C-alpha cells in the first residue's frame, strides 16, 4: 500500500486475463471508466507479450514487460483483475501475471484489490473468480470480499465497450464505489 493516497485522482490498475482482441473481459475493463466515480482513474495494463514464468529467465533479469507491470502495480492505489473461467479455474494468463507480480518482494501484500468476471454462460465465471481470490488472499492482498461481481451472459450486456444493461451498470457502479471506499478505508 502506498504511504500517501493520490490527492487528485485515485488510480486503479485494471488487468484482463484474456489476450484476444474481442475478449469480453478486455471490453468489460474498457467500459469501467464511464461508470467510475469522477475522482477515480482506471488505467489498463495489457498482458499481451508477457512470457510464461520461468525461473531461469528471472535470474537473468526481469523481462521489460514484467518490470513495467511491477511499476504500474506500485503506482496504483488498487488493482482490478478481470478473469475468464477456463475449465473451472482462473485463466492461465491471469495466473501467470499473478506469479510474475509475486516475484517482487513487498509489491502485493496489503495492496487493495478486487476481482470481476463474466461469461457468455449463466454463471459469470464464479469458479474462475474463486480460484483467483484464493491466490490473491494467499499473497496477503487486501481483497474486497463484497460486493462480488460475476456477470452472466456478458456477451449480451456489452456493446462497443459500453455496458448496455441497466441493472448491470448499477451493479458495476456500486462495486466501483465499494472498491474506492475499500481503498480509502485501508489508507486511513
From the list 102, 89, 94, 113, the residue with the least C-alpha distance to 50 is 94
Nearer residue to ligand FNR within complex by CB, 11 or 25? 25
The answer to whether the CB of 129 falls within 8 A of the CB of 83 is yes
Helix, strand, coil share of the chain (percent; to 5): 40, 20, 40
Which of 31, 114, 119, 180 binds ligand FNR (CB under 6 A)? It is 119
Q: Which stretch binds ligand FNR (CB under 6 A): 3-11, 38-46, 83-91, 165-173?
A: 83-91
- Per CB under 6 A, 84 contacts ligand FNR: yes
Among 10, 12, 25, 101, binds ligand FNR (CB under 6 A): 25
Cβ distance to ligand FNR smaller for residue 38 or 87: 87
For residue 145, with 0-12 CB atoms within 10 Å meaning exposed, 13-18 middle and 19 or more buried, which class applies? exposed
Cβ atoms of 154 and 84 closer than 8 Å: no
Interface residue with ligand FNR, options 45, 86, 179, 182 (CB under 6 A): 86
Which of 18, 114, 135, 168 is close enough to bind ligand FNR by CB under 6 A?
Answer: 18
Residue 132 CB, nearest approach to ligand FNR (Å): 13
Task: Find all residues with CB under 8 Å of 188, minimum gap 6, and list them.
Answer: none
Alpha-helical segments (H) within the chain: 24-30, 55-60, 64-75, 92-101, 126-138, 154-157, 166-186
Q: Is 123 in the site for ligand FNR (CB under 6 A)?
A: yes
Q: Among residues 39, 48, 74, 88, which is the contact residue for ligand FNR, using CB under 6 A?
A: 88
Q: How far is the CB of 166 from ligand FNR (least distance, A)?
A: 22
Place of cell 511499476: 71
Chain residues in the site for ligand FNR (CB under 6 A): 18, 20, 23-25, 84-88, 119-121, 123, 125
Amino acid at each position: 500500500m502506498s504511504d500517501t493516497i493520490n490527492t487528485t485522482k485515485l488510480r486503479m490498475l485494471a488487468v484482463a486475463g484474456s489476450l484476444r482482441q474481442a475478449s469480453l473481459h478486455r471490453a468489460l475493463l474498457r467500459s469501467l471508466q464511464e461508470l467510475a466515480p469522477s475522482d477515480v482513474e482506471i488505467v489498463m495494463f495489457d498482458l499481451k507479450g508477457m512470457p510464461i514464468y520461468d525461473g531461469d529467465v528471472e535470474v537473468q533479469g526481469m523481462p521489460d514487460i514484467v518490470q513495467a507491470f511491477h511499476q504500474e502495480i506500485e503506482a496504483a492505489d488498487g488493482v482490478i483483475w478481470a478473469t475468464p473461467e477456463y475449465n473451472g479455474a482462473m485463466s492461465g494468463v491471469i495466473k501467470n501475471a499473478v506469479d510474475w507480480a509475486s516475484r517482487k518482494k513487498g509489491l502485493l501484500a496489503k495492496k487493495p484489490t478486487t476481482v470481476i468476471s463474466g461469461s457468455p454462460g449463466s454463471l459469470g465465471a464464479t469458479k474462475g473468480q474463486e480460484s483467483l481470490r484464493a491466490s490473491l488472499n494467499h499473497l496477503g492482498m487486501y481483497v474486497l470480499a463484497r460486493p462480488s461481481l460475476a456477470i452472466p451472459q456478458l456477451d449480451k450486456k456489452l456493446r462497443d465497450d459500453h455496458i448496455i444493461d441497466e441493472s448491470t451498470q448499477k451493479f458495476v457502479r456500486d462495486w466501483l464505489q465499494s472498491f474506492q471506499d475499500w481503498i480509502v478505508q485501508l489508507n486511513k
